[in-house]
Amino acid sequence: MQEDTDPQKLYSGPLVAASLSLLLAFLTLMVSHHISRLTRELDNIVHAYGHWIPGSTGSGPDGSIGSYSGKETLALGVWLSSWLIFHFLWRRQELSVRAWTRIFVIGLLAITLGFFHPLSDPVVLFIAGLFGIA
């Protein structure tokens, strides 16, 4: 019996798929946060995605987490679905980890800055104005 001396080939595609899905989930959380702040109706739409989470509504001693439950639900859905799709597509792909690391760090920094309201509010209000929302 001949032994296989080559170790199993590890591809970088699944690594990129997992980290890209996290970046997309973080982006979804930021976008849904800004959307929910524009009008009460949009806040209710975002909140509707998270009504299934205990504590999303109510007035008990802990209060209500409100539309945050919908934001988290949307981010969780994007994270899981994009991870499954990208992993399936790239499971046997060799992608540049060096290039992806740069893109990931820049994306993470940009999304983090998007949560900083003095920077993001003018952009959000401009885009909302284009769509006639604000």
**pLDDT tier, 63 (very low <50, low <70, confident <90, very high otherwise):** low
Contact in structure between 23 and 107 (CB atoms under 8 Å): yes
Instruction: Render 27-39 in DSSP notation, one character per residue.
Output: HHHHHHHHHHHH-
Q: Answer yes or no: is pLDDT of 105 > 90.
A: yes
pLDDT tens track for 6-41: 567 889 999 999 999 999 999 999 999 999 999 999
How many whole angstroms separate alpha carbon 74 and alpha carbon 11? 29
**pLDDT tier, 65 (very low <50, low <70, confident <90, very high otherwise):** confident
**pLDDT tier, 1 (very low <50, low <70, confident <90, very high otherwise):** low
Radius of gyration of the chain (CA): 20
pTM (2 decimals)?
0.86
pLDDT value of residue 2: 54
CB hemisphere CA count around 121 (13 angstroms): 5
pLDDT value of residue 72: 94
Task: From 100, 102, 84, 97, select the one nearest 11 (Cα to Cα).
Answer: 97
How many whole angstroms separate alpha carbon 83 and alpha carbon 76? 11
User: Chain-wide mean pLDDT for the chain?
Assistant: 90
Residue 81, token pair as written in the block:
């679905």
Question: Degrees (nearest 5) of the Cα angle 45, 33, 35?
Answer: 55
